[in-house]
C-alpha cells in the first residue's frame, strides 16, 4: 500500500513537532505502508522570507523569489529525513526537482505539467521513506519554480496522482473540513464527507485548509483526499466525487468561507467605448492578475465607472497595468480593507431564496454589501473587512450550520 502524506507548516512548526511527524511517519511505515511524505516550510518561514525580500525591494524578481521561497521546504524535508534516519528508518529527502516535478515557467505561481516518477520509484523500491520538499518544481529551463501559497497541498495531490497512491492524507492543525473556519466560529461542525465540487468552491473562496488548485487536480485525477490533524488520531474528512443518488442533496448550504486577501480597484471616468473593458482586462490577464468580481455602472456622458476585486498581493502589479491607461481612466483608487464572505452549497442549485436569506442576515446586522456575485452553488459578498468575522458567524447561524 502506497500512501502520500502531507504535513503543513504548523505540523512542522518547530523541532519537537518535526519529531512528532517523524514518529507518526515511522508508525505508518511499521504498519507496512510505503510512504511519500510531502512537507511544508516551518510555519511563518515563507512569510519571513517574503519580508526579507521586501526589505530590499518592493517588487523583487519572481525568479529570485522562487529561489528564496523554495528553501523553506527544503529545510524541513532534510530535518525530517535526519530524524527518521536517527530512529533507524531508511529515509531520503528530495527537492521538487529531484522528485521529478516539472512545471510551466510562471514563477511564483507555476502549474505542474508532469511528474517523472523514476527517481521516486527507485527510492521507494530501495525501501526508503521518501520525503519531498513541497511547493516547488523545476521548469523546462532548469529554473526552480514555486506553486503559489499553500502549494504543498498541490505537490501532495500531484504525487499521489502520478504514483497512483492508495491514499492522499493532508495533515494540518485542524482535524478535518468544518462548516466554516473553526477559529472564527467555534460552533462550526466537522464534516464527515465533502464533494470535490463544494470543497473547490470553499477553498477558492478563502478556506485555506486546502489549496484550491490541489482540490481541482484531485478531482481531475480522481485522487481521494483525507484531511486530518497531525496532533490527534481523529478521523478526518474525506473529499470525494459525489455520485447521483448520494443522499446529500438535503444539505442546502455546506459551508461559509472568508477571504481577507482581497483588494478592490475602482476606476472612475473610464472612456465608454467598445473594447475598453477588453483592453483593460486583457492587460491584467497578461500579468496573471486574477480578477474576480466586476461591476460596471451605466455610462454617463460617454464615461463609466468600473469596479473589480483582485487578490491583495497582486495590487502592485494591477496598479502598474492601470497606470498605462491614464488617457482612458480619470481616477483610480484602491482599497485593501475589504473582505469576501461566501456561502457554498450544491443544494442551492434546486432551491430559491438562499441569496435573500444571506442579504437579510447582513442587513439585520448593519453590514453593508459592496459587491455581490453568485453561481449555481455559491453566493459571495464583498464587505468592509472589519465586519468579516461577524459576517461569518451571522451566515453560519442563519443557515443553521451549527445544528
Ligand atoms: P497548513 O499550514 O497545514 O497547510 P493551513 O493553515 O493552510 O494549514 O490550513 C489550516 C487552517 O485552515 C486551519 O487552522 C483553519 O483555521 C483554516 N480553515 C479555514 N476554513 C476552514 C474550514 N472550513 N475547515 C477547517 N479549517 C479551516
Ligand atoms: N510554505 C508555502 C506557503 O506558506 C507552501 C505551503 O505551506 O503549502 O504558502
Ligand atoms: Mg495550507
Work out the average pLDDT over 276-287.
95
The pLDDT score that the predictor gives to residue 246 is 66
Going by pLDDT thresholds of 50, 70 and 90, the confidence category of residue 245 is low
What grid cell was written down for 94?
528530495
SS (H, E, C) 176-195: CCECCCCCCCCCCCECCEEE
R_g of the chain computed on alpha carbons: 22
143 lines ligand 1 (CB under 6 A): no
Q: How far is CA 102 from CA 8, 99, 327, in A?
A: 22, 9, 42
Contact 78, 98 (CB under 8 A): no
The pLDDT score that the predictor gives to residue 232 is 97
7 lines ligand 1 (CB under 6 A): no
Between CA 30 and CA 38 the distance in angstroms is: 18
Work out the average pLDDT over 45-54.
98
Give the mutation target among 12, 37, 193, 209 for probing the ligand 1 site: most ligand atoms within 8 A of CB: 209
Is the pLDDT at 288 greater than 90? The verdict is no
Q: How far is CA 347 from CA 92, 158, 205, 274, 377, in A?
A: 46, 30, 18, 39, 7
Between CA 139 and CA 163 the distance in angstroms is: 20
Nearest Cα to 208, choosing from 188, 189, 182? 182
Bridge-partner residues for 265, per DSSP?
Answer: 308, 334
Is the pLDDT at 298 greater than 90? The verdict is no
Give the mutation target among 149, 156, 230 for probing the ligand 2 site: most ligand atoms within 8 A of CB: 149
Which atom of ligand 2 is nearest the CA belonging to 152?
Answer: 8
Write down the H helix ranges in 324-366.
354-364
Which atom of ligand 2 is nearest the CA belonging to 135?
Answer: 5
Residue length of the chain: 403
The pLDDT score that the predictor gives to residue 59 is 87
Q: Is 245 left (phi over 0), alpha (psi -120 to 50) or beta?
A: left
- Determine which residue's CA is closest to atom 9 belonging to ligand 2: 149
Going by pLDDT thresholds of 50, 70 and 90, the confidence category of residue 81 is very high
Amino acid at each position: 500500500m502506497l500512501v502520500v502524506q502531507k504535513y503543513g507548516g504548523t505540523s512542522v512548526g518547530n523541532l519537537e513537532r518535526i519529531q512528532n511527524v517523524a514518529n507518526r511517519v515511522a508508525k505508518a511505515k511499521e504498519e507496512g505502508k510505503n510512504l511519500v511524505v510531502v512537507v511544508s516550510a516551518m510555519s511563518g518561514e515563507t512569510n519571513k522570507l517574503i519580508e526579507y525580500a521586501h526589505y530590499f525591494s518592493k517588487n523583487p524578481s519572481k525568479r529570485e523569489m522562487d529561489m528564496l521561497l523554495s528553501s523553506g521546504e527544503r529545510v524541513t524535508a532534510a530535518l525530517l529525513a535526519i530524524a527518521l534516519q536517527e530512529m533507524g528508518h531508511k529515509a531520503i529527502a528530495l527537492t521538487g526537482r529531484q522528485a521529478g516535478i516539472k512545471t510551466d515557467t510562471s514563477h511564483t505561481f507555476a502549474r505542474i505539467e508532469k511528474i517523472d516518477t523514476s527517481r521516486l520509484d527507485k527510492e521507494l523500491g530501495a525501501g526508503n521513506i521518501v520525503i519531498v520538499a513541497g511547493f516547488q518544481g523545476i521548469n523546462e529551463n532548469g529554473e526552480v519554480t514555486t506553486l503559489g501559497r499553500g502549494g504543498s497541498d498541490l505537490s501532495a495531490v500531484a504525487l499521489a496522482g502520478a504514483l497512483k497512491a492508495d491514499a492522499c492524507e493532508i495533515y494540518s492543525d485542524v482535524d478535518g473540513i468544518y462548516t466554516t473556519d473553526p477559529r472564527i466560529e467555534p460552533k462550526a461542525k466537522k464534516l464527515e464527507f465533502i464533494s470535490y465540487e463544494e470543497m473547490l468552491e470553499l477553498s477558492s473562496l478563502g478556506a485555506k485548509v486546502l489549496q484550491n488548485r490541489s482540490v481541482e487536480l484531485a478531482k481531475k485525477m480522481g485522487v481521494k483526499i483525507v484531511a486530518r490533524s497531525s496532533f490527534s488520531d481523529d478521523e478526518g474528512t474525506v473529499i470525494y466525487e459525489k455520485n447521483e443518488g448520494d443522499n446529500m442533496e438535503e444539505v442546502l448550504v455546506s459551508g461559509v468561507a472568508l477571504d481577507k486577501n482581497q483588494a478592490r480597484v475602482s476606476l472612475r471616468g473610464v472612456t465608454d467605448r467598445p473594447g475598453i473593458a477588453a483592453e483593460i482586462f486583457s492587460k491584467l490577464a497578461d500579468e496573471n492578475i486574477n480578477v474576480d468580481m466586476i461591476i460596471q455602472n451605466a455610462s454617463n456622458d460617454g464615461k463609466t465607472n468600473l469596479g473589480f476585486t483582485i487578490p491583495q498581493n497582486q495590487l502592485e502589479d494591477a496598479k502598474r497595468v492601470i497606470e498605462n491607461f491614464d488617457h482612458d481612466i480619470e481616477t483610480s483608487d484602491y482599497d485593501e480593507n475589504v473582505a469576501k464572505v461566501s456561502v457554498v452549497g450544491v443544494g442551492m442549485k434546486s432551491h430559491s431564496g438562499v441569496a435573500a436569506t444571506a442579504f437579510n442576515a447582513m442587513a439585520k446586522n448593519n453590514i453593508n454589501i459592496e459587491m455581490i456575485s453568485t453561481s449555481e452553488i455559491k453566493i459571495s459578498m464583498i464587505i468592509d473587512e472589519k465586519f468579516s468575522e461577524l459576517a461569518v458567524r451571522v451566515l453560519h447561524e442563519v443557515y443553521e450550520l451549527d445544528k
